[in-house]
Amino acid sequence: MAAADLRNDTATVRVVVRSGLHVLLDREVPLAGAAAPRGRLALTVARPRRDAASGQRGTPLARYFDDRGYSLVAGRATLLARAAEPVEAARSAVLAGAAAILVDGAVPAGALGLDDRLDVPVIGIPSSAAAALRSALARGNEVNVSLGAPGWRTNERRALIAPFSSHGLAFGGGIKPEVAAPGVELVTADPGRNADRTARYATISGTSAATAVAGGAAAALAQARPELDAAALKSALVGTGVKAAASSAGAQGAGMLDPLAAAAVEVVAQPATVGFGSADKPGWTAARRIVLRNVSSRRVDVDVAAATEAIAGLSITAAPTRVRLQPGASAPVKLTARVAFLPRRVGAIQGRARLEVSGGGRVIVPWAVALPFKGSALIGGVGMSPRSFRASDRAPAVLTVQAGQVRDLAGRRQLRPVSRLDVELWRGGERLGLVARLRDVLPGRYAFGVTGRGPRGGALAKGPYRLRVLAVPPDGPAEAETVRFRIR
C-alpha cells in the first residue's frame, strides 16, 4: 500500500543554517510537526553523543547528556538521523531540553502528526545540508540555525506519493505497492490521553494510515457490490486506480483508489497484478495468464492493451487482444514479456496493462519485470562461534548470517528480500540434509544455534563438517556461502 499526499496547503518555515560565514542552507521547508516558532528563533546547533548504533550504551535519552548529567541540547537545536520511530527519537531530544529539532532528509509537512509531546519545531532538511552540518560540528565549528515565522503555501507535492512510502517488489517478484491511498496528515483520534486526562486528538501519517483508508474503501465496495467475491473486490479496487502523473509505477502500482469507479466496474482480472519474474539475460521471455471475468449483467467486449510506454528493450504483448464475455463468463488472456537487452538500470521495470470495456470503463493490471542486482552479495557476514566444539543442546555454537540487501536506487531505499534461506549440513562431498529453513526473509542479520546434531536429530560423529547457507531471492539466481566447523 502506497501513501499519497492530498493536502492543498502545508505549513512551512524559513530555515537558514550557518557555520561562520558559510551558509549551509537557506530555504523554506515544511514543518514536520504541530509546533511552530512564534516568531524569529535563533539557536546554536548542538551535537549529541553517539547513538546506540555507534556503540554508545544506555537509553536513547542518554546521548543528549554528558558524563556529569548536564544536557548537551538544552535551549539549542539538534540534528537527528532518520529513524524507524521518528516521534520517539524526537521526544528524547525534547525531554533533554532541545528547543528545535532538525531531521536529516525531507519530511512531509505534518508527517509526525499533531503530537502534543513534540512541543518544539521539527523540520526536515536536505541530506546534503545535514552532511555539511555534521562535518562542521566534527571540525569543532559553531553552527547556528535561524527559523522564521511560520506560514502557509500551496502543497507542491499534492497528489504525489509520499517520500516515506514503500517502493519496490514484493516477495515472489510481484507488484509492491499495488495501489495508493491518502496517507499524510490524516485526522484521527489518537488513542490515549494527555497529562490533564483530556482526549488526545491528532493526525497520523504513513502507509498504515493509507491501509486503513483502503480497508474502509473495500468495506464500502463490498456493501455496494455484495455479489463480488474477495478476489473480484481486490481487482475492482486495484484495476480502477487513477494514475498519479508525476509518480513512477513502482511507487504507486495502479494508482490512487477510486471507490466510485470500483463500484461501477463491469470486468475484473485475476490476478489483479502480474509479476513476470527476473530477466537475467538478453532474449529472456516469460508468460503469465490472467483471467477476465464479466461481473455485469450485459455482454461486453474487452480490448487488451499491454503497451510498455516506450521502455527500450522490453515488449509486453497480449493474446488474444480482444475478448467477448457474456454475463458471468470468464476468459483467459496470456501476457508475454520479452527483453531484447538488459537495461543498465537495476531493480525492476514496472508498467500497466489496460483493459478497455465496450461502452465505457477501464481496468488496469499493473505488471513488473525484475532486473538483476549487481555489485553486492545477497549473503554476507557469515560466521560461526566457536568453530570447534563438543555437541551440546545447552550451549550450542552460533551461526550468524547477513541476508538480503538494502540499496539506494534513484534516491530511494530499495529492499531486496530473500524468498528462502536454507542452512545445509555437509561432510566432505556428501550433503547430509537440511538443518534450518526460513521463508520470506527481510534484509537483516539472522542467527542459528548449531547443537552438533544432524538433520534427523542424532548426534554427529567427531570430525570436520561444513554448513552451506543458500539464499534464494524472488528475482534471480540463488547465492551460497560456506562455513566450516569441527565436532570434537
Res. 152: pLDDT tops 70:
yes
Residues 346 and 390 in one domain: no
Q: CB neighbours of 238 closer than 8 A, spacing ≥ 6?
A: 178, 179, 253, 254, 272, 273, 364, 366
Q: Is residue 172 part of a domain?
A: no
For position 106, what pLDDT does the model report? 73
- Strands 186-193, 199-204: pairing kind: antiparallel
**pTM of the predicted model, to two decimals?**
0.67
* CA distance to 12, 103, 139, 252, 412, per residue, from 106 (Å): 13, 8, 25, 19, 12
Q: What is the mean pLDDT of residues 343-356?
A: 76
Res. 145: pLDDT tops 70:
yes
In the chain the first and final C-alpha atoms are separated, in Å, by 52
Q: What pLDDT, in 10s, does the model give residues 365-394?
A: 988 887 766 656 788 889 998 999 998 888
Q: Is residue 199 part of a domain?
A: no
60-74, 109-123, 358-372, 377-391: segment of lowest average pLDDT: 109-123
Residues 7 and 150 in one domain: yes
Residues 394 and 367 in one domain: no
Contact between residue 355 and residue 292 where contact means Cβ atoms under 8 Å apart:
yes
Contact between residue 370 and residue 350 where contact means Cβ atoms under 8 Å apart:
no
Residues 219 and 365 in one domain: yes
Structural domains counted in the chain: 3
* CA distance to 10, 84, 207, 237, 421, per residue, from 213 (Å): 21, 22, 10, 12, 34
Q: Is residue 181 part of a domain?
A: no
Residue 383 is part of which domain span?
379-487
User: How many C-beta neighbours within 10 Å does residue 27 have?
Assistant: 12
Residues 343 and 217 in one domain: yes
Q: Is residue 20 part of a domain?
A: yes
Q: Which residue would you say has higher pLDDT here, 407 or 379?
A: 379
- Strands 285-294, 41-46: pairing kind: unpaired
Res. 153: pLDDT tops 50:
yes
CATH of the domain at 409: 2.60.40.730
Contact between residue 440 and residue 171 where contact means Cβ atoms under 8 Å apart:
yes
User: From the centroid of its chain, how far is CA 369?
Assistant: 18
Q: Is residue 198 part of a domain?
A: no
For position 54, what pLDDT does the model report? 38
For position 52, what pLDDT does the model report? 41
Residues 361 and 441 in one domain: no
CATH of the domain at 55: 3.50.30.30
Q: What is the mean pLDDT of residues 57-80?
A: 84
Residues 19 and 149 in one domain: yes
Q: Is residue 263 part of a domain?
A: yes
CATH of the domain at 281: 2.60.40.10
Confidence category of residue 53, pLDDT binned at 50, 70, 90: very low
Q: Taking each helix axis as running N to C, give the angle between helix 207-224 and helix 230-239, from 0 to 180 degrees, rounded to the nearest 10.
A: 120
